């Protein structure tokens, strides 16, 4: 499979051949070294054959078992420190051998281009064109292709799972005794039995995953790396069915790797965290990036004393001291999810706690909504996701409005987080539960990430990254952003897009639901006031969408760019994400805004009570699964058939909203009514008043102004700007900085400089404002700020700003 990329389009390849081999679980065992800025260790991958190698559905169990969160109190990992018994396993650089870690003694086999292989043994393996034709059982060895970049791969080996004590229990069934004379076939059958264990045996499964991950190697595999992939083969193995199902990859990251950011927090202490899109985790560990590769995972991460390891994990890990100065953190996840959702952050974080339980807010209160909970009926037939423990079938979880949560931050932001976040989180969680029902995840960590984080927030399983930029905005800015990220627990994580190009499924839903959650969390607001605020916000979003559509490429404005080909991949499972690496695309809002307006339009047309009743049913049916736009739309119209009589159809929604660029026609019509809202009229009247005041001040402009008058005007402007500074700087610093730039208020330039350093998530657009005025002092300020921040900035942000400046 040779993937052709168009460099001018900044396309992103997904190289993994998931149709041949599908990852079901992975075990990470890593050391974090801040001195070298390298993460080093191993990953053990457990596979099943992909859909092209077996009948569809033949080995996919769709049963679902209730999950008891109480059982998660068991310290599963305390039982799993099993010594490595074979010297061929990767050895740990820190000297202890109760975990399989790669490092010491392994040779760096990279070439001058940074590619790696053990090609001295793997003669002839240079590209996946050598991959066999699985239909005809071709003459070449089968190639396993993984997504991988910016990694130094040291060794790849098959894992001898048959050597694990007690593993014989997975070889007793009658079907395993047939044709299992060869040891390789026996190992594959053991892995098959392990990955297909029923959900109610998740603890046993987790234990044996750990044991197998620490088993000795039983032969090195041939491999080579290219810019975007790691290709692995075993000599003589020509079809996926016979390829090893458990492999260990020893590797280390590179300091310049694009999946993690090495930086310092706001207190000046070192830290590292995963960045999310566009590369996701392929520069953190070799993986299968396509969403269809939904897997579970567990990880052991070691770091020096004083560091805290936070991660996507169902358990609130406690550190275990391995030796003086080294602590180990263990996490696991039993809900299958794409590898792109994995997140890790290591730093000197401080847990923010309440000083008194008396100040606890709404941890047990239930927020009520203006529609009946009796309408939130379960979908008959149970769950439709892959076999895994499920909170949606656990009565204790379904009635839990607020899940356990923790807040972590740099030391200097501890008090501010205590003041704002500790009160907001339970309110937002309770509002989300009142709207959609069961929280998909059993717990939540919220981390205030360093100032170079390129977004206001990012949601991952069990953990949310928040930018410090939302904190000075008070409860409203922080609360709405929290609601947005919490909404991703349902849309984006528990329910994901099967095709990455349909970003609106994640961001459109989260933008739409943030308003609903926040309105419910603000119970003190009467319904009509909450609706007025939403109308005004809709008008502001409409203007933002209009401006973006006028100033962006049409191709980037389409919510379903692949149209009828959405969800399709190549025969191997590989695909290309168009514009996936385009830096500007990361800062575009079109998927957020058009998606939000589509859902808002549907809710208004159907009736909000009916719409949210349906939405909860949709979550019940599709949680734990990947969807396309039509899955949502077809179920909506089938559940509410009367809408078909009003001309609402999947085809018309595609045509008007999803498959075309520009502003959707229905939105153009609706937007006219927002200008007539009471709050919008108040703002318009206030603006008109000040325009009139300004005109009166300029009435005498025909006569030549004296020096005293000019001086007075400057003094008057200075006083006004000074008062605005006092009013705005505390809560809406970005608005204050916009005014400083617009009015060339030199006394405020220091605030702009501080903002561009501390609030990089919101500062990118401000560079453009500084340059567009063509003012020498402002352009000099822009260049000065960029020079100071460039090394710390997210690469996409730095690229966009550089294009503005140079």
- Cβ atoms < 10 Å from Cβ of 553: 12
**Helix, strand, or coil here: 185?**
helix
Q: Which residue has the tokens 């159907």?
A: 606
Q: Beta partners for 328?
A: 302, 320
Residue 444's closest CA among 273, 311, 300, 349? Answer: 311
Contact 795, 258 (CB under 8 A): yes
Contact 430, 369 (CB under 8 A): no
**What stretch of H or E contains 152?**
strand 151-159
Distance (Å, whole) CA 368 – CA 389: 29
Residues 6+ positions from 293 with CB-CB distance below 8 Å: 16, 18, 22, 23, 287, 338, 339
Q: Which residue has the tokens 């330039």?
A: 749
- Cβ atoms < 10 Å from Cβ of 172: 9
- Alpha carbon separation from 640 to 12, 383, 634, 649 (Å, rounded): 38, 22, 10, 11
- Alpha carbon separation from 40 to 30, 148, 178, 484 (Å, rounded): 5, 15, 40, 34
HSE of 506, CA atoms in CB hemisphere, 13 A = 21
Per DSSP, helices labelled H in 296-413 are: 395-398
3-state SS record for 737-766: HHHHHHCCCHHHHHHHHHHHHHCHHHHHHH
In the set 485, 503, 514, 758, the catalytic residue is 485
Distance (Å, whole) CA 34 – CA 305: 12
Residue 464 backbone dihedrals phi, psi, to 5 degrees: -125, 130
**What stretch of H or E contains 335?**
strand 326-338
529 is catalytic: no
Distance (Å, whole) CA 687 – CA 388: 57
- Which residues participate in catalysis according to the annotation? 485
């Amino acid at each position: 499979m040779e993937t052709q990329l168009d460099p001018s389009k900044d396309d992103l390849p997904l190289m993994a051949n998931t149709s041949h081999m599908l990852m079901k679980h992975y075990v990470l065992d890593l050391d974090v070294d801040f001195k070298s800025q390298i993460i080093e260790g191993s990953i053990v991958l457990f596979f099943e054959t992909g859909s092209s190698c077996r009948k569809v559905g033949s080995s996919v169990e769709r049963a679902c078992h209730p999950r008891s969160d109480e059982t998660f109190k068991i310290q599963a990992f305390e039982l799993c420190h099993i010594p490595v018994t074979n010297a061929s396993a990767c050895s740990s650089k820190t000297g202890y051998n109760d975990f399989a870690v790669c490092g010491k003694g392994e040779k760096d086999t990279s070439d001058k281009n940074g590619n790696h292989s053990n090609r001295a043994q793997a003669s002839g393996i240079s590209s996946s064109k050598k991959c066999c034709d699985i239909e005809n059982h071709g003459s070449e060895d089968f190639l396993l292709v993984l997504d991988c970049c910016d990694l130094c791969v040291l060794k790849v080996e098959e894992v001898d799972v048959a050597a694990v004590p007690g593993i014989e229990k997975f070889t007793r069934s009658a079907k395993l005794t047939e044709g299992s004379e060869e040891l390789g076939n026996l190992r594959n059958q053991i892995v098959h039995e392990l990955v297909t264990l029923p959900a109610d045996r998740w603890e046993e499964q987790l234990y044996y995953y750990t044991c197998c991950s620490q088993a000795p190697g039983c032969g090195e595999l041939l491999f080579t790396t290219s810019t975007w992939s790691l290709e692995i083969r075993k000599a003589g193995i020509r079809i996926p069915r016979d390829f090893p199902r458990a492999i260990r990859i020893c590797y280390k990251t590179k300091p310049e790797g694009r999946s993690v950011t090495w930086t310092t927090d706001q207190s000046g202490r070192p830290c590292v965290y995963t960045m999310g899109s566009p590369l996701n985790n392929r520069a953190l560990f070799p993986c299968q990036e396509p969403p269809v590769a939904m897997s579970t995972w567990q990880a052991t991460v070691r770091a020096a004393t004083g560091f805290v390891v936070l991660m996507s994990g169902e358990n609130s890990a406690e550190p275990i001291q391995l030796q003086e100065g080294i602590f180990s953190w263990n996490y696991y996840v039993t809900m299958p999810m794409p590898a792109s959702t994995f997140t890790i952050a290591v730093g000197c974080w401080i847990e923010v706690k309440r000083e008194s339980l008396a100040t606890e807010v709404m941890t047990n209160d239930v927020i009520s909504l203006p529609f009946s909970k009796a309408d939130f009926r379960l979908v008959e037939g149970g769950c439709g996701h892959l076999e895994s423990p499920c909170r949606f079938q656990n009565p204790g979880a379904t009635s839990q409005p607020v899940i356990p949560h923790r807040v972590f931050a740099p030391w200097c932001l501890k008090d501010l987080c205590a003041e704002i976040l500790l009160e907001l989180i339970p309110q937002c969680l309770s509002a989300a539960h009142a709207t959609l029902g069961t929280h998909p995840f059993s717990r939540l960590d919220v981390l205030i990430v360093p100032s170079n984080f390129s977004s206001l927030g990012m949601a991952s399983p069990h953990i949310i990254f928040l930018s410090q930029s939302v904190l000075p905005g008070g409860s409203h800015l922080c609360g709405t952003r929290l609601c947005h990220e919490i909404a991703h627990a349902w849309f984006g994580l528990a329910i994901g897009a099967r095709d990455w190009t349909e970003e609106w499924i994640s961001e459109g839903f989260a933008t739409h639901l943030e308003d609903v959650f926040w309105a419910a969390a603000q119970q003190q607001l009467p319904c009509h006031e909450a609706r007025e605020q939403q109308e005004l916000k809709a008008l502001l979003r409409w203007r933002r969408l209009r401006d973006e559509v006028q100033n962006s490429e049409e191709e980037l404005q389409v919510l379903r760019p692949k149209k009828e080909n959405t969800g399709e991949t190549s025969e191997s499972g590989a695909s290309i994400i168009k514009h996936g690496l385009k830096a500007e695309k990361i800062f575009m809002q079109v998927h957020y805004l058009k998606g939000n307006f589509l859902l808002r339009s549907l809710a208004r047309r159907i009736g909000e009570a009916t719409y949210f009743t349906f939405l909860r049913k949709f979550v019940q049916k599709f949680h734990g699964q990947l969807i396309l736009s039509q899955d949502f739309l077809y179920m909506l119209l089938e559940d509410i058939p009367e809408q078909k009589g009003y001309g609402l159809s999947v085809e018309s929604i595609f045509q008007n909203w999803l498959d075309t660029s520009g502003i959707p026609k229905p939105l153009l019509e609706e937007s006219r009514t927002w200008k007539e809202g009471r709050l919008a009229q108040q703002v318009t009247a206030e603006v008109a008043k000040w325009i009139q005041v300004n005109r009166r001040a300029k009435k005498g402009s025909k006569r030549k102004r004296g020096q005293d008058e000019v001086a007075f005007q400057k003094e008057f402007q200075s006083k006004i700007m000074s008062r605005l500074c006092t009013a705005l700087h505390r809560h809406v610093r970005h608005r204050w900085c916009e005014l400083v730039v617009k009015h060339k208020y030199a006394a405020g330039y220091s605030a702009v400089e501080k903002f561009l350093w501390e609030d990089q998530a919101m500062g990118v657009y401000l560079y453009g404002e500084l340059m567009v005025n063509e003012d020498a002092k402002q352009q000099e300020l822009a260049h000065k700020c960029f020079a100071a921040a460039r090394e710390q900035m997210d690469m996409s942000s730095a690229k966009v700003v550089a294009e503005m400046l140079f």
